[in-house]
Structure 1
């Protein structure tokens, strides 16, 4: 059986070992980012970190409109429904006004009679004036006596006085008619501006009062955010600061960017958050406006606001 003798490998020189170590270290250095390389995504996210956070609520600029009737009465007709969009001046509901309409009809008749009487009296004046001139000319020629002239002058003066009284009666009847028409407008409730009807508190046949709102409208105005800043962030947020907004129950759907419109100078109790141990929190209200109109949001939805420098 043949024996095979293994030849031992030569030991590496120490300088060779040192060279291999240098190459290994150099390769590791090439895998690390250089000092002047651009910032990483984490550094960018850190730059975008909010300086303050707050809870807020979507609202319409100026708030909702609660409309009450100008007089107490019984609803005769409701001409709109909830969810309907209305235009400025559009009729919303009417109140029974039978007694007023009867009074207005009498006033209109009186006005027409006064106009007719005044017209009849003023028609006589030119005839009486012409008759007076003829008698005066005849008297100068000796064909008529002065008594006839005096009688003609008296008749003209009486007719002029009656015409003036009739004219005053016309103005009085016209003024009363206009007052009743103005009063009749109080029996109808109209939309002051373009809006959406969100709630009808009155029904046909129900009583309405001036102290209670009969219709609630959502004006077609820009949406705003009313956020509540914790007192620890009160000095951090400034007017004009930008903010990112997400729905409180859907953080995956961001809303358009917003900017701080105004900050309340006073502290107040929170309406959106509460600490069971400490009680109501003190907050500063902050109103923000959207850069662009948000879609698929509703007034009253809760949001979370992150403020950025």
Structure 2
């Protein structure tokens, strides 16, 4: 029976140890690369893997906030400005609109009758004022001539005084008639305004977001829902809520990136912090009913560098950078 050579056994053991060490080193390098994807910022105090760029950690996140996409100035609610029946809705959700365009038409018959009556009263009052004013020249001339005659003793002084009193009464009647005509003119203007309120125009250019009425519906002032909701042609913004513990870390002009929470793989959109509220308040972004009275936040408004393809109301995550 043959025996193995002791020198060959020792050599085999050494080779096996070296092979295991090499495999272990490769596994550690792969794990480090997987833990920190290319371009990600390593946690504070952690060493970057061998071969990573130091620039990857330059954009350090100093605060994180939740927010929603909004429009600068907010949506436009178009309420009913008077009571009446809708006879026409000229737009539908999604339609682009221009400033001054007719959106909704209410019935105009009662307002037209009121305007016709106010116009007739104004014309009558104006005619009376003109008739009173036409009496002034003759009365003024008579009063002047009688006053001159009385001064020369050619007529009774009482007649001159009566003529002067008559002139004063006529001038007072003219003043009152003209004031009455002005009152009826204002009534006519009010009736014309009431008629105009029955035609609802677009206050700004934009796009129709919602229509809450239809032909035949009866609308009134102060009803709970507006007739229409308009998305004005203004830039999109983000209204973010920053926890009070991070409020001291951010400042206007700071850079940030905005990412949709529903799709974490989406490329972050660059933005800039435009302004920060001066007061704390309760969160307004949560739709649940959990009590959050102890959570105080400060509202931050961010502006995008480029117009994004987002929708109003989308929930986003905001990372603030140094």
How many matched pairs? 265
Query: In 2, distance between residues paired with 1:236 and 1:152?
Result: 85
Q: What corresponds to 1:255 in structure 2?
A: 269
- Work out whether residues 65 and 317 of structure 2, in 8 Å CA contact, stay in contact via their aligned partners in 1: yes
Call closer, same or farther: CA 1:245–1:154 in 2, change over 3 Å: closer
Q: How does 1:106-255 map to 2 (within 5 A)?
A: 106-138=117-149, 149=160, 152-153=163-164, 155-209=166-220, 210-212=222-224, 213-227=226-240, 234=246, 237-240=249-252, 241-247=254-260, 248-249=262-263, 251-255=265-269
Distance 1:77 1:130 in 2: 61
Indicate if the aligned counterparts of 2:242 and 2:300 stay in contact, CA closer than 8 A.
no
Distance of 2:81 and 2:54 partners within structure 1 = 62
CA distance in 2, matches of 1:148, 1:236: 91
Distance verdict in 2 for CA 1:223–1:156, change over 3 Å: same
Alpha-carbon offset, residue 103 of structure 1: 1.7
The corresponding residue for 2:309 is: 296
Aligned mates of 1:236, 1:165 — CA distance in 2:
68
Query: 1:268: which partner in 2?
Result: 283
Question: What's 1:61 paired with?
Answer: 72
Corresponding residue SS for 1:251: coil
Distance 1:172 1:270 in 2: 52
Root-mean-square deviation (CA, aligned residues, Å) is 3.6
Structure 1: tracts of 5 or more residues without a match: 1-38
Give the 3 Å change call, closer, same or farther, for CA 121–201 of structure 1 in structure 2.
same
CA-CA distance at 1:200 after TM superposition: 1.1
Give the C-alpha shift of residue 214 in structure 1: 0.8
Displacement of 1:126 in angstroms is 0.8
Secondary structure of 2:119's partner? Answer: helix
| Aligned equivalent of 1:307 | 320
* Residue number in structure 2 paired with 1:30: none
Partner of residue 54 from structure 2, selected from 36, 43, 53: 43
The structure with the largest strand share of the pair is 1
Q: How many angstroms apart in 2 are the aligned matches of 1:116 and 1:221? A: 51
Is contact 1:128–1:152 with CA below 8 Å preserved after alignment?
yes
TM-score, reference length from structure 2: 0.66
Query: Against the structure 1 CA distance between its residues 192 and 40, is the aligned structure 2 distance closer, same or farther, given a 3 Å change threshold?
Result: farther
Residue 201 of structure 1 and its aligned partner are, at CA, apart by 0.8
Distance 1:218 1:302 in 2: 18
CA distance 1:140–1:66, shift in 2 (3 Å) = closer
CA contact (8 A) 1:59 1:226 kept: yes
The answer for the alignment partner of 2:43 in structure 1 is none
Q: 1:159 to 1:50 in 2, by over 3 A?
A: closer
1:189–1:51 Cα change, 3 Å = same
Kept in 2, the 8 Å contact 1:256–1:294? The answer is no
